[in-house]
Structures are given as C-alpha cells and as structure tokens.
C-alpha cells in the first residue's frame, strides 16, 4: 500500500480545488471500496480528500414530488427511509441486497455509484487488465469470465458494474448532481456510466475532481409498483449474477408504462429500453414479457463461461415483470 | 452448562468449553498476539511466475525505505539442511515451482512498512512454460507408491470387469470435485525468535510436536531446541497439520535479526497459495447389481492432482473399498503432477470427495434399480470389512439411516423428480451415508500430578483447534481419576508438555485420551501402592505413554452417519437453498454433547458449502487461484444454513479405545455434499455431477 496524504476541506469548492492540482488524488466517501483497492495496490492515490462531512446526508421531498438524496446519506439510511420504502421500493430492496450491514452503514449514496468492478483480474496487480493498466490486455476475455458481461462489452474489457443501487436508480430515471472544476451539472444515471469501448479505464463520464453531491429521484407515479430481484450464488453477501430493477404502470391489463434495468450483465447498469418499448401499450402476459426480454437479449454476446446469463436474465425479467403486473404465480 | 459434574460422571455431559470466557472477551492469546519486546514484521515476496527461476533481485529501493530492517532473498538466506521437502526448503536457490511460492521477504519495524517495501523489490525471472492443466486424458498420469495415510493406491477384489459384464443393472458415470481451500478463520501465523541457537515458535498449529519434528531438522537442530507454543488455534481443517513454508520463512527471517521476534501472519490472499488445499478429483464410478438390487461390482477410478515439487496423493477411493457389500471391488488412483502449489489435507481428505462421488452414484443406482435409496443402502450392508476381512468393531450405518429417516420424515417420499413444488420453488429430498475411519496416532505421553488439596494437573502437548480439547480431555481425565471435572486443570498446546500427536484424522481424542486414561490409572495405582491411597503433602505425579490397542488387529474401526437433506431450487434462476438437514451419527461414546454437536454441525455446513459454493478457480495461463478472497470464493452465510437437526445413536464399542469413542471432527462433512446433490436431483430432475452446484448448472 502506497503512503498517501489524508486531507479535509472546508467546503465542497475547497475539496474540488484540492484535487485540481492533484492528478493522482481522489475523494474519500465511505471508503468501502477505495480503501480495499489501495490495500491491493490497484488504486494508488497520492492524496485522499475526505468529502463525507461536506455533503448533505438528508433525504428531502422536492416541490415537484420527487426526492433529493444527499450524496453522504449512508446506504443503510437510504434503504430504511419510509419515503423510499413506500414510493421507490426497488431502490430500498436493491440497497438491502448489497454488501453487508456493516458496509451499508459506511457506504455513501454518491460513492456507491463509483464502485469499481470486481473482475478478479482488475483486482490482482499481477495479471494484465486494460481497465487497471490500459494496453496490458484483458485477462478475462479468455479466462475466468463466469461473472462477466453479456451486453455492451468490447474486446478491451468484459467487466461488469457491481452496484445494486445504481441498477435501481437507472430504472427509476434518477439523476446525479455533480460539482466540479467546470461547475455544476445534472447527469441522468443512464449517461453517468460508460460502456468500455477502447477506454475501459474510464468507468463514468465524470471528470477528474468532479464530485457527486446529490441524487434526484423524479416523481414517478408508478414507482411505488417497483421491485428489485437479485440472483446470486448464495443467499446473502454476494454480487449479482444477474439482477433486475423494474417499475410498471398497469391499467386494465395493459402496460401503460414500464422501466427495466439489468445488473450483472454489462459495464454499466443496463437500461433495457427495448423491453420498455416493446411492452408499452401491450397487454400484460407472460408471453409478451418473454418476447420483450428476448428482443433485449438478442444482442447478447456471451463469453466462454457465462452463456447461462442469457436465459437467466430472460427468466428474471419475465418473473419480475409478471410479479409487478399481478400475473405472477 | 458449567454446573459441577459428579466425580466420575463428566464424560458425555454438555460442558461448556473451559476457555470460552477467554475467547468471547478476546483474552485468549492466539499465535500472532503474544506480546514480545520489539517485534519485527515480515511481508513475503511471492513468485508471479509458476515455473522458472529468479534471475535477478534488486532490493536496494526496499532496503532504503524507512523502517526496513532487512530483505531476505535466496542470495542471503541462511542455509537449510536438505531434508527432501521442496515445499519447505525455500530460498536455497532461485528456483520457482509454483506461482505464489515464497522467494523472499521484507522485515521491517511495522507491518505497513514491510508490505510497502515488498512492492519496491524488483524481481526478474527466467520463465519456463507453465503446465497447470488438470485433465484426465494427460499422457503423463502416474500411480503413486502410496496414498495419504499409507493406503494402497490400487486395490482389487474379485473380478470387477466380469461382474460388470454380467450385471443385470449397470451404472457408469464420472463425477468431479473442485480444488478447495481450507481457509480457517485465523490465518496461519507465527512469531519466530532465536536465542543462543534455540528457536521459539509461537504458532497456529494443529500439533506443536508435528511442527517441532518438521522444523528442527531443516535447521539442523535437535528437536528439543525448537520450542513450539500454541495454546489457542482459530481453526485449521488440516491446513495447519504439517507446517507449511510460512513457518520456515519466519524462522529464516528471524535469523537475520538475531534475537528480535519476527511476526508473520498470512493474508487471506496468501491462504490460497501457500497453505495447502484439497486436490481437484475426477472419479469414474462403475456399479453393477443383480435384478433385485444387490451390488455385484463397485469401482472407483480416481484421477487427481499433485504438485511437481512435492507429492500429495489424496486417498479418494478408499471408502469405496469398505462401504457396501460386493464380491468385486476395484479402486485405482492416478496423479497429474503440475506446476501448482502443494495440495494437502482438508477436512476428511479422501472421504469427502470420494463419498460425494460414491453416494451420488448410489442414489443414481437406486433409481436404476427402482429402489428407495435408504433401502438400497441397507440391503447392500456388508457383514465385514471386505478389504481386511476383519469384522467391524461396531457399524451403525443402518441404525443411522433408520433413525434419520424417522426424524426427517422420509417415509412416503414420492421418488419421482419434480413431484413437489412450492410456488416457483421445486422441492426435493436426498439421502447419503457417511463414514470415517477411527485413526490412532503414535508418540503420545502424558503426566498427571495430584496435589494434596485434591486438585490435579494434566500435561500433554495436545492441540485445541477450536474443537474443544481443553474441555474434553479434562472430562476424560476427571472420570478416570474419579474426581469432578472442576478439580482437573489441563495444560496443552506447548512442547514443554509431554509428546503428543497432532489434531488430524479425527484421531485426537483416541490418541490423547487413551494416553490420559493410562496416566490416570498409573497415578491412582501409585497413590494406592506408595501412599496408602492418600495424596502426600508434597503431591505425587505419574507419567504414561499411549498403550497399544490389541483390538486394532482384530477389528475394522469406523464411525458412520447418515444425512437427509431438503433442497429447494428456484425454477427460474437455478438458485438452491437448503432449508433443513437431518444428520444422525454412530460415533461411539460422545465425550461432550455440546462440543460434539458443534463438530458435527461444522462438518455438515462445510459439506453444504462444498455442495453449493466452494471452488478455487485456477487460471492455467498464470498458474494461480484467481478467486482468492472471500468475496469471490464463497462459503455459506448464516442465511444459507437452514435448520440443522443433529443427533447420534448410543453406540457401545469396547474395542476402539478405553473411552469407547470415535473421532468426530471429520465425519460431518463426509457424504453431506452428496445428500444435497441427491436432493437437488429429486427437486429438478437434473443430475449435477460436478461440484459445486451453482445456478449456471441448473438454468435453462
């Protein structure tokens, strides 16, 4: 572990300027991921600027009927919030399906989005990895890739994004609010994370020194009819093989509107827009859900060890949508 | 329960472990925690190639770091004696035999400085091609001279091929079990201190004398010059049985900083490269039976892995030799020697993987014969040990199967797969047998001192690796002395106490307990003969060695058990959950009902873990286990373990040892993975013959 400096800033702008002259510096939130990566030698920042105390840890309802979540809100608090539990149950369920109680107490809402992949080669500095060391090669492509991506990957990287929370946020049309050297901006979750392309070292579109300060959940009438279903190899404390966050507005047996996002299948939370388009205005039925899921997955490109994720993602989508529509067994 | 036991009535009682209060308060001193003056800290250098040699090591940057005391490499390492063990003879040249092998160490004033400086050492290799591909069709497989614990590699009774050819019902399938790592909660830890040519090791070990006897010759020392101290051990599961190279590295490093203690604890990552593991196995099982379901042929042909630098041959096929009645039985073992770390013991080496295959096959064969799997096993119960021809000292398998079936509610089971569902869950049940030999190890002695106040001190260099030895040995001694449990103080876990074998092969209580009984009898005779039945004011002591057990030549000795499992499989996702497990054991006399239950439970959960979770994934390109942490290498969480119904039958076996007990540390893991697999088949109709049973193998 490389020696590093620990700093605190007076306010958000101070934190941003503290990193402006530190190309190898990083923000520290809950530290549940970056500290592990520092111990592994994967992250080697010169300085950590602690931002946890600078940001809001409030969850507030907004005038338009949405919710604004301070970036410092711990995952455990967000999961337990009565408004979130009743109006955005998929988000609460996603948070509770992730990590452990101890980690959720430490992890922040803003930091959760910025978790790095758990690809075993990324986490091991003795093996090639384009994400960790651009140009060194992708060890997973022809290696242990059982847990890797089936959608949107590239020859340079087949890693998946590990967050559960971000998948629910993607399905709920959330935005992150950021402050950076170039001011403030509001980014839809769908655009926050990148596909790997030929720059797998970049997980998100955030610039160096750009800080997530809040998350906004827009009003969505049917978000109360949402859920998160995570499939994993043990009952607790494991990353998703595949997960689905979905919300559905059903009236008279017809899908008026629907949101679907997948976890564990891509370099980013995968918004299943083809499923949504296929289902809007269509009658609720398991056959329709299956057909829509298969459209989304028709572009899947499984690797040597993860072909199972295609039927798994299909089945979990069908099951989750059926449950939300009231058609589930 | 800590209530006073009546004199002579301790054995069998559910007495709470005597050191429990120390452990819950964090006051029990584990190896790394012994307080010594000015300790230095070691961080190892591990090879990043699997085959080749270190061509150049430049430690100048590391040596210049503040806090660094020394850098140990093969260029400056003290010479070790050649004992013919390439796993332990580290740093004697630059040769690398597996990835992760120790090629040096940084010793510093703090752990952090040592770890950081280790990253500054520049190492160049001459790399040779890595051969780590474990396949059954390799042309260089070979038969070892003998298997672990001295078993014959190949055995044959009768004519298996002929019996299979003429069998009315034939079965032939291949099962695989993966590489698994022991991963006790406490990683391997040492503090090594040299003082005037003598070495003291504060160790986390399953046997202080096993450590002494292995380490002393490497350093050219008489055994008594190596003092090993290990009062508390946070689990071992076999990986702390015989010392691994981490102990040697700590002792070598301590020679460079003469007089200063060197502390070294493996990280969880290192636990996946240098501390032993269970070999992967490929087992072809063939069974033949007549039309009624009576077995006529049993055959297990095993292929497994070892390391090129040191052979370890797991006795995977041995349980097929004695488990069921057949006139024709054959077992074979072939090894693939690869550029990989050295495999070793992991809880029930041999029986655990071997009985997964055999008990899965027995389930499949019962279905082929259209018989209930419990009844199929019972009708193939042997009258004697077919390998040795000896009668069993006791054999409680049928009783366990009957009792387990009753407790579990097996009767009336619909044998048809996919016949029960609960919503989206497919529900199935499965059964499997368990077995474990009654091993006994030599070289034990004990001393018991009686004081005039009626208190007794019992000394033996035994180990408590979390199993309850501190307590159970006290119970055995108290009963034989005819005093209450509270009047006996145990002293174990240190080479200053009399010689003892280690905790391995579930042999501890048989070996140590027999010795204590002998010592207690000697003491009572001495008090009677020399002191007229009264303890003199100055106290009195007696010592004894473990007596030979004449019955060992007359009887085959095994513990048995039966597991019953309910498995639920999500039809959409392939997720498997095990809401309940009933296991019944026939393991002789149970010394402590409380600690015994914990041993059985731990084994059962470890079998569940093998069934559903554990798999060390070796990347053959690099030669190392890539899922080398607890985020990626899965073991069950509490949420994965359902209701466990654990019991045992009363079994009176006067032959196994003076206590009538059989070892119980390993039998819980044996067969439990097969019971889960059999239940998954019953739930889904899908037979998974490759462990672990993960969702990808059930999804469609």
For the stretch B389-405, pLDDT in tens is: 999 999 999 999 999 99
Domain boundaries, chain B: 20-31+441-548, 34-129+185-235+241-272, 148-179+277-439+554-697
Q: Which of B48, B636, B700 sits opposite A234 (nearest CB)?
A: B636
The distance of B487 to chain A (nearest Cα, Å) reads: 43
Cβ <8 Å between A236 and B116: no
Cβ <8 Å between A236 and B637: yes
How is residue A136 written in tokens? 């060194």
Residues of A in contact with B624 (CB under 8 A): 126
Catalytic residue among B38, B518, B666, B690: B666
Kindly list the strands in the beta sheet with B643-648, ordered across the sheet, starting from the edge strand earlier in the chain: B421-422, B425-437, B558-570, B576-586, B643-648
Reported confidence tier of residue B7, pLDDT bands at 50, 70, 90: confident
Instruction: List residues of A whose CB lies inside 8 A of any B CB.
Output: 1-3, 41, 118, 120-121, 123-124, 126-127, 139, 142-144, 146, 231-239, 241, 306, 308, 311-312, 315-316, 318-319, 329
- A163 to A117, A152, A171, A264: CA distances (angstroms): 9, 17, 13, 9
Q: In percent, how much of chain B has pLDDT > 70? A: 99
Q: Which of A3, A118, A231 sits opposite B573 (nearest CB)?
A: A231
Greater confidence (A329 vs B293) lies with B293
* Residue listed under structure tokens 């996702």: B573
For the stretch B342-360, pLDDT in tens is: 999 999 999 999 999 999 9
Q: B643 with B612: CB under 8 angstroms?
A: no
Residue-level pLDDT at B4: 60
- B556 to B189, B361, B444, B513, B652: CA distances (angstroms): 38, 24, 22, 20, 15
Does the structure show a pLDDT above 60 at B2?
A: no
Q: In percent, how much of chain A has pLDDT > 70? A: 99
Of B462, B466, B464, B474, nearest in space to B501 by CA = B462
Domain boundaries, chain A: 5-52, 229-325
Q: Which of B112, B575, B628 sits opposite A1 (nearest CB)?
A: B112
Q: How far apart are CA A321 and CA A307, in angstroms?
A: 22
Average pLDDT over residues B531-535: 96
Average pLDDT over residues A201-224: 97
Residue-level pLDDT at A236: 96
Of B324, B436, B368, nearest in space to B661 by CA = B436
> CATH second-level architecture of B20-31+441-548?
2-Layer Sandwich (3.30)
Phi-psi region for residue B30, left (φ > 0), alpha (ψ -120 to 50) or beta?
A: beta
Cβ <8 Å between B626 and A146: no
Residues of B in contact with A323 (CB under 8 A): none
Query: CATH assignment of A229-325?
Result: 3.30.390.50
Here the ipTM equals 0.97
Q: B274 with B266: CB under 8 angstroms?
A: yes
Q: How far apart are CA B193 and CA B191, in angstroms?
A: 7
For the stretch B21-70, pLDDT in tens is: 999 999 999 999 999 999 999 999 999 999 999 999 999 999 999 999 99
| DSSP class of A297 | H
Does the structure show a pLDDT above 80 at B137?
A: yes
CA nearest B119 in A: which residue?
Answer: A1
Residue-level pLDDT at A2: 86
Average pLDDT over residues A59-74: 97
Query: CATH assignment of B34-129+185-235+241-272?
Result: 3.90.1170.50
Average pLDDT over residues B145-172: 98
Does the structure show a pLDDT above 50 at B1?
A: no
Q: Which of B48, B626, B696 sits opposite A144 (nearest CB)?
A: B626
Query: CATH assignment of B148-179+277-439+554-697?
Result: 3.30.365.10
Does the structure show a pLDDT above 70 at A49?
A: yes
Q: How far apart are CA A234 and CA B636, in angstroms?
A: 7
Residue-level pLDDT at A328: 54
Residues of B in contact with A308 (CB under 8 A): 574, 695-696, 699
Q: Which of B627, B637, B695 sits opposite A120 (nearest CB)?
A: B627
For the stretch A155-171, pLDDT in tens is: 999 999 999 999 999 99
Residue-level pLDDT at B6: 82
Radius of gyration of chain B (CA): 26
Q: Torsion angle of alpha carbons B504, B506, B509, B514, nearest 10°?
A: -90
Among B4-13, B413-422, B446-455, the minimum mean pLDDT is found in: B4-13
**DSSP per residue, A115-131:** PPP--TTTT-TTS--TT
Q: Which of A237, A315, A329 sits opposite B573 (nearest CB)?
A: A315
How is residue A214 written in tokens? 């809040």
Residues of B in contact with A142 (CB under 8 A): 621
The total number of residues shown for chain A amounts to: 329
Q: How far apart are CA B689 and CA B676, in angstroms?
A: 12
Residue-level pLDDT at B324: 98
Q: Does residue B566 carry a catalytic annotation?
A: no
Q: B626 with A120: CB under 8 angstroms?
A: yes
Cβ <8 Å between B695 and A235: no
Q: B1 with B158: CB under 8 angstroms?
A: no
Q: How far apart are CA B488 and CA B492, in angstroms?
A: 13
What is the third-level CATH fold of A5-52? 3.30.43
Q: B213 with B223: CB under 8 angstroms?
A: yes
For the stretch B551-581, pLDDT in tens is: 999 999 999 999 999 999 999 999 999 999 9
**DSSP per residue, B249-315:** HHHHHHHHTTTS-EEEE--TTGGGTSS--BPPEEEEEEEEE-TTS-EEEEEEEEEEEEETTB-----
Of A57, A78, A102, A103, nearest in space to A168 by CA = A78
Q: How far apart are CA A281 and CA A289, in angstroms?
A: 12
Phi, psi of B23 (to 5 degrees): -70, -40
Average pLDDT over residues B636-655: 97
Instruction: List residues of B whose CB lies inside 8 A of any A CB.
Output: 48, 112, 115-116, 119, 423-424, 572-575, 577, 612-613, 617, 619, 621-622, 624, 626-629, 631-632, 634, 636-640, 694-696, 699-700
Pick among A40, A231, A233, A293 to test the B interface (most B CBs inside 10 A): A233
Average pLDDT over residues B610-627: 97
Radius of gyration of chain A (CA): 19
Cβ <8 Å between A234 and B622: no
Q: Any residues with CB less than 8 A from the CB of A277 and at least 6 apart, and which?
A: none
Q: How far apart are CA B462 and CA B519, in angstroms?
A: 15
Which H/E stretch holds residue B118? helix B111-118
Decide if B20-31+441-548 and B148-179+277-439+554-697 have a common fold: yes
The distance of B272 to chain A (nearest Cα, Å) reads: 13
Q: What is the rounded average pLDDT for all residues in chain B?
A: 97
Cβ <8 Å between B634 and A308: no
Let me know the angle formed at the C-alpha of B360 by B355 and B361, rounded to the nearest 5 degrees. 100
Residues of B in contact with A233 (CB under 8 A): 612-613, 634, 694-695
Does the structure show a pLDDT above 90 at A1?
A: no
Q: Any residues with CB less than 8 A from the CB of A313 and at least 6 apart, and which?
A: A150, A242, A244, A262, A265, A293, A297, A300
For the stretch B420-431, pLDDT in tens is: 999 999 999 999
Q: In percent, how much of chain B has pLDDT > 90? A: 98
């Amino acid at each position: 572990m490389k020696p590093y400096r620990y700093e605190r800033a007076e306010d958000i702008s101070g934190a941003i300027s503290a990193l402006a002259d530190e190309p190898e510096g990083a923000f520290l939130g809950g530290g549940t991921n970056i500290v592990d990566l520092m111990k592994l030698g994967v992250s080697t920042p010169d300085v950590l600027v602690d931002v946890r105390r600078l940001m809001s840890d409030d969850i507030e309802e907004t005038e338009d009927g949405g919710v604004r979540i301070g970036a410092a809100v711990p995952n455990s608090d967000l999961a337990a919030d009565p408004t979130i539990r009743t109006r955005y149950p998929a988000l609460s369920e996603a948070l509770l399906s992730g990590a452990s109680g101890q980690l959720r107490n430490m992890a922040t809402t803003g930091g959760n989005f910025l978790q790095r992949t758990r690809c075993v080669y990324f986490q091991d500095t003795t093996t090639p990895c384009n994400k960790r060391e651009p140009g060194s090669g992708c060890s997973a492509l022809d290696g242990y890739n059982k847990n890797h991506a089936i959608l949107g990957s590239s020859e340079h990287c087949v890693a998946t994004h590990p967050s559960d929370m971000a998948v629910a946020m993607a399905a709920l049309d959330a935005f992150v609010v950021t402050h950076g050297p170039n001011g403030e901006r509001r980014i839809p979750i769908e655009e926050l994370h990148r596909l790997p392309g030929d720059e797998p070292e970049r997980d998100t579109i955030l610039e160096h020194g750009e800080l997530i300060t809040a998350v906004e959940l827009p009003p969505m009438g049917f978000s109360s009819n949402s859920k998160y279903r995570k499939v994993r190899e043990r009952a607790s404390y494991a990353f998703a093989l595949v997960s689905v966050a979905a919300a559905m507005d059903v009236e008279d047996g017809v899908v008026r509107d629907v949101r679907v996002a997948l976890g564990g299948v891509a370099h980013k939370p995968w918004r299943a827009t083809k499923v949504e388009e296929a289902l809007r205005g269509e009658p609720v039925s398991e056959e329709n859900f299956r057909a829509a899921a298969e459209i989304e997955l028709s572009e899947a490109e499984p690797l040597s060890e993860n072909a199972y994720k295609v039927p798994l993602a299909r089945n979990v989508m069908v099951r989750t949508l059926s449950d939300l529509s009231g058609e589930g067994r | 329960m800590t209530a006073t036991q009546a004199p002579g009535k301790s054995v069998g009682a559910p007495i709470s472990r005597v050191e429990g209060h120390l452990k819950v308060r964090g006051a029990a001193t584990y190896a790394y925690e012994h307080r010594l003056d000015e300790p230095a800290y070691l961080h190892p250098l591990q090879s990043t190639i699997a085959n080749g040699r270190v061509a150049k090591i430049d430690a100048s940057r590391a040596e210049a770091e503040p806090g660094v005391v020394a850098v140990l490499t093969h260029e400056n390492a003290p010479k070790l004696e050649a004992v013919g063990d390439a796993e332990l003879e580290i740093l004697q040249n630059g040769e690398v035999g597996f990835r992760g092998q120790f090629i040096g160490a940084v010793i510093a004033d703090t752990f952090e400085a040592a770890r950081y400086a280790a990253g500054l050492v520049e190492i160049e290799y001459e790399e040779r091609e890595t051969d780590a591909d474990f396949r059954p069709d390799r042309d260089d497989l070979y038969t070892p001279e003998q298997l672990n614990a001295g078993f014959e590699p190949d055995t044959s009774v009768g004519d298996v091929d002929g019996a299979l050819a003429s069998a009315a019902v034939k079965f032939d399938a291949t099962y695989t079990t993966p590489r698994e790592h022991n991963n006790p909660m406490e990683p391997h830890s040492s503090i090594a201190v040299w003082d005037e040519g003598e070495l003291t090791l504060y160790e986390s070990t399953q046997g202080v004398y096993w450590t002494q006897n292995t380490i002393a010759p490497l350093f050219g020392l008489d055994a008594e010059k190596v003092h090993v101290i290990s009062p508390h051990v946070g689990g071992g599961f076999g990986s702390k049985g015989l010392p691994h190279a981490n102990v040697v590295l700590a002792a070598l490093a301590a020679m460079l900083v003469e007089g200063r203690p060197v502390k070294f604890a493996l990280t969880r990552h290192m636990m996946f490269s240098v501390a032993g593991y269970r070999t992967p196995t490929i087992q072809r099982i063939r069974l033949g039976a007549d039309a009624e379901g009576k077995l006529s042929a049993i055959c297990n042909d095993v292929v497994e892995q070892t390391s090129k630098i040191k052979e370890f041959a797991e006795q995977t096929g041995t349980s097929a030799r004695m488990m069921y009645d057949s006139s024709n039985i054959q077992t074979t073992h072939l090894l693939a020697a690869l550029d990989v770390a050295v495999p070793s013991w992991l809880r029930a080496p041999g029986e655990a993987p071997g009985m997964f295959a055999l008990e899965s096959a027995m389930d499949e064969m019962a279905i082929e014969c259209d018989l209930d799997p419990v009844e199929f096993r019972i009708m193939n119960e042997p009258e004697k040990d077919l390998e040795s021809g000896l009668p069993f000292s006791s054999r409680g398998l049928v009783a366990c199967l009957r009792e387990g079936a009753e407790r579990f509610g097996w009767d009336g089971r619909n044998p048809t797969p996919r016949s029960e569902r609960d919503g989206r869950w497919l529900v199935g049940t499965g059964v499997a047998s368990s077995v474990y030999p009654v091993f006994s190890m030599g070289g034990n002695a004990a001393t018991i001192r009686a004081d005039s106040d009626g208190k007794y001190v019992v000394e033996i260099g035994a180990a408590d690796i979390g199993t309850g030895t501190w307590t159970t040995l006290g119970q055995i001694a108290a009963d034989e002395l005819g005093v209450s449990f509270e009047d006996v103080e145990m002293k174990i876990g240190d080479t200053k106490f009399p010689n003892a074998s280690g905790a391995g092969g579930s042999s501890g209580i048989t070996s140590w307990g027999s010795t204590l009984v002998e010592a207690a009898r000697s003491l009572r005779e001495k008090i009677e003969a020399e002191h007229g039945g009264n303890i003199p004011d100055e106290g009195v002591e007696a010592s004894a060695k473990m007596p030979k057990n004449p019955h060992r030549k007359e009887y085959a000795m095994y513990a048995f058990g039966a597991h019953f499992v309910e498995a639920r499989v999500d039809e959409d996702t392939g997720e498997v959950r095990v809401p309940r497990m009933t296991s019944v054991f026939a393991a002789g006399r149970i010394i402590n009902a409380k600690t015994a239950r914990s041993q059985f439970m731990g084994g059962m959960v470890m079998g569940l873990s093998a069934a559903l979770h554990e798999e060390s994934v070796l990347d053959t390109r690099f030669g190392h286990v890539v899922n080398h942490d607890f985020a990626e290498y899965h073991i069950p969480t509490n949420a994965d373990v359902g209701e466990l119904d654990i019991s045992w039958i009363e079994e009176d076996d006067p032959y196994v040892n003076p206590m009538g007990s059989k070892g119980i540390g390993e039998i819980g893991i044996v067969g439990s993975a097969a019971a889960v697999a059999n239940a998954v088949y019953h739930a889904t109709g899908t037979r998974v013959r490759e462990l672990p049973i993960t969702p990808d193998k059930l999804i469609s």
